[in-house]
Amino acid sequence: MRLIPLIIAVALAVALEAGEVAAAPDVTTPALAINAEAVLLLDREGRVLYAKNPAISHAPASLVKLMTLYLAFEDLEAGRAQWDEPVEVSRHAAETPRYRMGLRAGETVPLSTLLEGVAIASANDAAAAVAEHLGPGEDRFVDRMNLKAKELSLARTRFANPHGLPDPGQRTTAVDMAQLIGQLVEDYPASRTILGGKAFIYRGRVYGRRIPLFEDPGGVQALKTGFTNEAGYNLAIAAWRDGHSFLLIVLGCQTRSHSFRDAKKLLQLGFGEPVIERKPDPRRPPVRVRKPPPKRQRARVQTAGHRRFQGERACLAPGRSSSTRTAPSSTCTR
């Protein structure tokens, strides 16, 4: 475990936060339009290539799962766990709020599948099941997370659960998340494969993620997303290409696409590619926002719709119940 380059980066990032330096001494930092509340881009020597509020406290969301994965790989390497050993899913884990794989209480799932669920699907039920299995017990596992955070010098990070669902006591910084993903991919190279994965199959269902950064600008070999209403959209990335490697943290973007655009700009900066800023076209007319109808009009529309529904019911064949109709299903997307 080598902490020296990243500890140097921590000192530089804190200096950046205090306004003492603009970047590493031999790095010119361009002005970029960044949506994120906090970002940090480091090269392999731990030099700060770009930073914005790198030391402010922020909700980590599912970036918490990086520590869950770190402890899982630690147990695998130490022989305390086996890649395909069976894990029984508890009711507590199965009922963990979304996003979920849809694990069922009492079923047995290979640990490897759960780790794919944590890394690729960002499944909270999978993270809870891993924590309960390896803790042993979720509370014990969270204690281990905080002990490891102290060991890795994550000075401003506190974990409250293994999945990242909101908790007032769960906080981090861009500096600490860079330290964490850097140590994870260095100490356990196998984590690069799982964090670079795009899909896996469980019970005949494909769980996939569409991350444009894997193709453009490319070079992304380990990536973890995170989102809650509190945190916004977060990213943790480790990238390698043409002999260059970088760590990138993006915290608090307003939308998922904003997080990807910010990350693309910063990776292009790191790889020495031209960064093209998207500017609004002054010739393009402003988008007209449709206003909702007045309350009375909405009431009439709803009443008319209700009458149409009643008419449809009346048109059903004799003896056929309206309960045979299937209501359209709703889906939740990230």
Q: Which residues are catalytic?
A: 62, 65, 122
Positive or negative, the CA dihedral 195, 196, 198, 199 is: negative
Q: 84-113: buried (b, 16+ CB within 10 Å) or exposed (e) per residue?
A: eeebebbeebbebeebbbebeeeeebebbb
State both tokens at 176.
């600490």
Which residues sit opposite 112 in a β-bridge? none
Q: Work out the angle at residue 177's Cα, subtended by the Cα atoms of residues 173 and 181, and round it to the nearest 5 degrees.
A: 175
The DSSP output letter for 136 is T
Contact between residue 98 and residue 332 where contact means Cβ atoms under 8 Å apart: yes
Q: In angstroms, rounded to a whole number, what is the distance separating the alpha carbons of residues 22 and 35?
A: 19
Angle between helices 65-78 and 124-134 (to 10 degrees): 40
Q: In angstroms, rounded to a whole number, what is the distance separating the alpha carbons of residues 119 and 123?
A: 8
State both tokens at 334.
């990230």
Distance (Å) of CA 208 to CA 21, 161, 202, 260, 329: 41, 24, 11, 17, 21
Backbone angles phi, psi at 315, to 5 degrees: -85, -5
Closest among 271, 265, 277, 264 to 214, alpha carbons compared: 264
What does the chain come to in residues?
334
Q: Work out the angle at residue 169's Cα, subtended by the Cα atoms of residues 144 and 89, and round it to the nearest 5 degrees.
A: 50
User: How far from chain centre, in Å, is Cα 204?
Assistant: 24
